Amino acid sequence: MAKCEQVATAEETGLIAQAQAEVVGGANIKTGKVAIGINKTSVNHGTICAEDIVVSKLGGNKAEIIMTSAVRPRKKQIIPVCIRCQTKYSKDMFKPGTKFE
């Protein structure tokens, strides 16, 4: 999972420093594919979460995906998994120590 966190750090310091956003890193534990979900509030208006973007990029098989905690890059703030995502994704899909609302 360290690779996901490194990619998320690179993304958050470059591409999205100008907008309020949440970033989640994820990996498919079967294929090793890594993805970053960047949810910009100015674009998605609360219709999807960064976790949804990660799952979509990794092919949608939730049983094979593990994700990092969401980060708000500008403030370097860890964001708990929202209630909406808790209804869609099980706690074992997140790295240990992830906080939930």
The CATH number for 13's domain is 3.40.140.10
pLDDT, tens digit (0-9, with 9 covering 90-100), for 23-77: 999 999 999 999 999 998 777 767 899 999 999 999 878 999 999 999 998 888 9
Any domain includes 99: no
Does 78 fall in a domain?
yes
User: Would you say residue 13 lies in a domain?
Assistant: yes
Q: For residue 98, is it within any domain?
A: no
Burial of 81 (0-12, 13-18, 19+ CB in 10 A): buried
Contacts 24+ apart (CB under 8 A), 3-11: 3/27, 3/34, 4/34, 4/36, 4/67, 4/68, 5/68, 7/34, 7/36, 8/36, 8/68, 8/71, 11/36, 11/38
Which pTM was predicted? 0.77
Q: Indicate the Cα dihedral angle 86, 90, 96, 101, nearest 10°.
A: 10
Question: Does the residue 101 lie in any domain?
Answer: no
Structural domain that includes position 50: 2-93
The structural domain count of the chain equals 1
Q: Considering the domain boundaries, does residue 100 fall inside one? A: no
Is 34 domain-assigned? yes
